[in-house]
Structure 1
Amino acid sequence: MAQRRALVVRGGWEGHQPVKATELFIPFLEDSGYAVRVEESTEVYADAAEMADTDLVVQCMTMSQITSAEVAGLSAAVIAGTGFTGWHGGIVDSFRASSDYLHLVGGQFATHPGKEPCERHGEAEDNFLPHTVHVTDLGREHPITTGVEDFDLVTEQYWVLHDDLIDVLAVTTHPTQEWHPWHRPVTSPAIWTRRWGAGRVVVTTPGHSLDVLEHPSVRTVIERGMVWATRTASAS
């Protein structure tokens, strides 16, 4: 059996520490039998031959920009069976100007509500809220999240705009507060999968900082998601 090939693409906004964050997971990939290639830009997405030989793309590229040729190459690879996964802004707050990219992923970061205004001090912690990630009924049966119980975090709680072609494995609910403009609680997907052609996409929205990525439940979901998303024999 040929060795599986993983491509780690990282960069963009430094606040999400793309190098340190991806370095947490490269040993897992190598220990799981993947040959790992690391790229610091999305230029590789336009290399059709390289993408055709890639079984899994792990992306950590917050904001930034992508060319039409690059997003077309990524999309074509996923349709042909290449897996695509990532966490937090590295996958759902990437390439905001590319509707084709958003269509591929199925969800887009909208905001992360913050603390009461009087408690904010202009720091990242202004947006760190205690919240729970609830595993759905589907998630309790899915290989990525089976055995993972609901878990609590104090970090950014992503509010995500999404379509109906995602399979939601976990959710989180934004409550109403007197300083918020919305009038009822809003539930957002926190972990989801998406079938796209012959490929599989996995998104995990927690992951703002290294301590969140090292949370046992978050890390388990990300690692299982990498394996599940990887090209299957039927897509070869």
Structure 2
Amino acid sequence: MLQVCLNGPRTAADSGAVPLSPAALAEAARQAVAAGAQDVHVHPKTPCGQDSLSPRVVGPALTAIREAVDVPVGVTTGAWAEADPERRAELIASWTVLPDHASVNWHEPGADAVAAVLLERGVGVEAGIWSGTAAAARFAASPLAPRVLRVLAEVLDDTDPRSAPETARALLAELARIPHGRPVLLHGQDGGAWPVLRLAGELGLASRIGIEDALTLPDGAPAAGNAQLITAALTLTGTPPGP
């Protein structure tokens, strides 16, 4: 499975290719799915470009994307969108339009509580396990581990294209010692994005790519958008393009 991560916490200051509004997100998702993406991850944003968990922001973004594509759509619950874990859970409980899944970063305070609210509402949980953090140990101790939709093995602390794959292998080895029984999606970021995606392909793991993870193509050229990144990923892993 190849997921497209449309924007992440990036803003227009990072690149003109970052989709921000519901309409722009919907069009970016449409193009990415047409190119071969099978799942969508998005950070709904306020008009000023900040990530938000408000139902007034999440709902319109999800509605617009779902009108454009017929694949699962997930959102972030990152602490940068709302630092207080109790408030984060309250906002999720107030969502009027539900995503198919939502990522929960297990190194963040309140991860279990946030995940529990999502599960109670019937939303799949992507367990974000960041390398270089205590996330794996905390996830191993969580009673919710066997109930998550998938585990996101995220190499976000090592963007060196030479060492990122080894960091990824170490993270995968750590996760293998946890009896969670859930599928793993492996991805990297910036300089490590393409080497880690290539490793995911070699290992037969799901992965993701998009403007959140990489602003450049494998050859270093700036990416025009998410669809171009999806096409490059399918080429890199030897997967035929197309939906």
Give the TM-score of the pair, scaled to structure 1: 0.37
Give the structure with the larger strand fraction.
1
TM-score w.r.t. length of structure 2: 0.36
